[in-house]
A and B are shown apart, each in its own frame.
Chain A
Amino acid sequence: MLKKYDKLIILLCIAGFFFSLAGILRTKPASFIEIKTPAETKRYNLQDQDITVKGALGDTVVIVRDSRVRVADSSCPDKWCRESGWIDKGGESIICLPNKVVVSIKSESGQREKVDAITF
């Protein structure tokens, strides 16, 4: 026969099960690379690879090594994007204004890490 406190424990276990399930459904999603060009926005995984995309002036070459991302070459005149170096944190971006290419690291939920925006 179930006693009053047994019932309470069963209820707490059931409640715990549902809230754990809700927690599992909200687990932290994986990060990915998003490259925006004048023609399209595409996602790539963070595995080692070389990606060439077409910008407004010509090609931009993006390389991924050890989950870090950088612009290796660009058709822009000032090459500032190439000089920006590696990015490896969610929310970081390399923006090439002349070639109109944006390389970002994002997470599935769209949530940023640390800061909401950067003033530069």
Chain B
Amino acid sequence: MLRRLAPALVLVFVLVLFFISYTRRVPLREFTVSRFMMDTYIQITVMEKDPAKAAAAIEDAFSVFKKVEDEMNFFSNSSLLSRLNKRAAAGVEVPEDIAFLIRESIKYGELSGGAYDITVGSLMKVWPFGESNPTVPDKKKISGALKEVGFRKIKINGRTLILEKGMEIDLSACDKGYAVDKAIEVLQRHGITSGMVNAGGNLKTIGVNIKGKPWFIGVQHPRKKSALLATLELDGRAVATSGDYQRFFFQNGVRYHHLLDPYTGYPARRCISATILAPTACLADILSTAVFVLGPDEGMKLLEKLGCDGIIVTEKEIFVSKGLQGKIKM
């Protein structure tokens, strides 16, 4: 009897061994660390087996954000950019990353016909977003600040920057995207093959998610707080959104938000949100602002010209670029 059952017992033994190895194998785990930096909430996620390797990669990726914040925070008097802005009328040497972002910003400032302008900082300082009991600034203050806006007056030769007196460079509409790209590069240098860097909804991914599937992203509905407007699978491109619901206040029933039109000095009114898919997070960041200010007609033309995709929402309509049609769920 026992002899006849022996093959069966051997099989059971093998199955037990298989079960033990199945439950004890070292799986790919998801590690996420979140921090408040660059005036937003940054989440870095990696898939790794080794916790120490994951922690080292994430820490190094966060150091990118620290460096960019220390260098480029427009609203901190101690940042390098603020100190450079004060001396730029006489000509200053800027670090290569700032010079790169200024050159990129001038390029996309031209392509967007001035809708994207890194000299709107003086205007941003006039508007009291984020303060208690904010009110619309006086017209004279806005027109005064507008005189210092105009990216075409920026002179940059190599790393030498010269600004007109009173003019200031504000990289807030591209620095987070730039930091996301650099943080992704850091993760890849650490050998991370799957992960995500998300700086307040401006995000880029590598590889696949913890389920082994393409990263699945939701687009915030601009008017329904707990709802998604759309979902889409990311194809390796970065995504960023600009919306009138991010920083705003109401006065006499009118919404005043932080995405200012460089031509008028007042909040841009052609749309209520713009979500952009671009090869880099820096470009997605830049284009989300540019397209928001341009609105759906000119915005879609710009996206088509650059081979990028987007979802542009106005109070009445939703516009989806050709490249995304059929690929998103509304």
Q: Which residues of A contact B (CB under 8 A)?
A: 1-2, 7, 10-11, 14-15, 18-19, 21-22, 25, 36, 38, 77-78, 83-88, 92, 95, 97-98, 100, 102, 110-111, 114-120
Count A-B pairs with CB separation below 8 Å: 98
Beyond the given A25-B23, A116-B209, A119-B201, could you list 16 further A-B residue pairs with CB under 8 A, ordered by the A residue number?
A7-B5, A11-B11, A14-B15, A84-B225, A86-B226, A88-B226, A92-B226, A98-B130, A114-B216, A115-B228, A116-B196, A116-B216, A117-B217, A119-B219, A120-B200, A120-B243
Contact B215–A117 (Cβ < 8 Å): yes
Task: Tell me whether A111 and B210 are in contact (CB under 8 A).
Answer: yes
Contact in complex: B215, A116 (CB < 8 Å):
yes
A120 to B246 CA separation, bound complex (whole angstroms):
8
Contact A120 B22 (CB under 8 A): no
Q: Contact check, A2 vs B239: say whether CB atoms are below 8 A apart.
A: no
CA distance A84 to B59 in the complex (A): 31
A111 to B196, CA, bound (A): 15
Are A117 and B243 within 8 A (Cβ)?
A: no
| Contact indicator per residue, chain B 36-68, by CB within 8 Å of chain A (1) or not (0) | 100111010000000000000000000000000
Q: How far is the CB of B312 from chain A (nearest CB, A)?
A: 14
Q: Which of A22, A87, A88, A115 contacts B231 (CB 8 A)?
A: A115
Q: How near does chain A come to B7, taking the closest CB pair, in angstroms?
A: 8
Query: With the chains together, A63 CA to B323 CA distance in Å?
Result: 43
With a cutoff of 8 Å between Cβ atoms, the chain B residues found around residue A117 in the complex are 43, 196, 198, 201, 203, 215, 217-218
CB atoms of B131 and A77 under 8 A apart: yes
B19 and A102 form a contact (CB under 8 A): no
In the bound complex, what is the Cα–Cα distance between A78 and B5 (angstroms)? 75
Q: What is the interface of chain B, defined by CB distance below 8 A to chain A? A: 1, 4-5, 8, 11-12, 15-16, 19, 22-23, 30, 32, 34, 36, 39-41, 43, 129-132, 196, 198, 200-203, 205, 209-210, 215-220, 225-226, 228, 231, 239-241, 243, 246-247, 249, 275
Chain B residue with the shortest CB-CB distance to A92:
B226
CA distance A97 to B209 in the complex (A): 27
Contact indicator A115/B217 (Cβ below 8 Å)? yes
Find the A residue at minimum CB distance from B29: A110
Establish whether residues B217 and A2, one from each chain, have CB atoms under 8 Å apart when the complex forms: no
User: Is A11's CB under 8 angstroms from B12's CB?
Assistant: yes
User: Top 10 nearest A-B pairs by Cβ distance?
Assistant: A120-B220, A115-B218, A120-B201, A77-B132, A119-B201, A118-B218, A119-B241, A18-B19, A100-B36, A119-B239
A120 touches B241 (CB 8 A): yes
| A118 with B8: CB separation less than 8 A | no
Residues of A within 8 A of B240 (CB): 119
Known A115-B228, A120-B243; contact A15-B15, beta-carbon cutoff 8 A: yes
CA distance A30 to B152 in the complex (A): 56
Contacts of B218 in A (CB 8 A): 114-115, 117-119
Rounded to whole Å, the gap between the CB of B283 and the closest CB of chain A is: 15
Q: How far is the CA of A2 from the CA of B9 in the complex (A)?
A: 13
Q: Of all chain B residues, which has the CB nearest A19?
A: B19
13 contacts between A and B (CB under 8 A): A14-B12, A14-B15, A36-B34, A95-B41, A97-B39, A100-B36, A102-B34, A116-B215, A117-B218, A118-B217, A118-B220, A119-B275, A120-B243
Contacts A77-B132, A97-B39: A118 and B226 contacting too (C-beta < 8 A)? no
| A36 to B290 CA separation, bound complex (whole angstroms) | 34
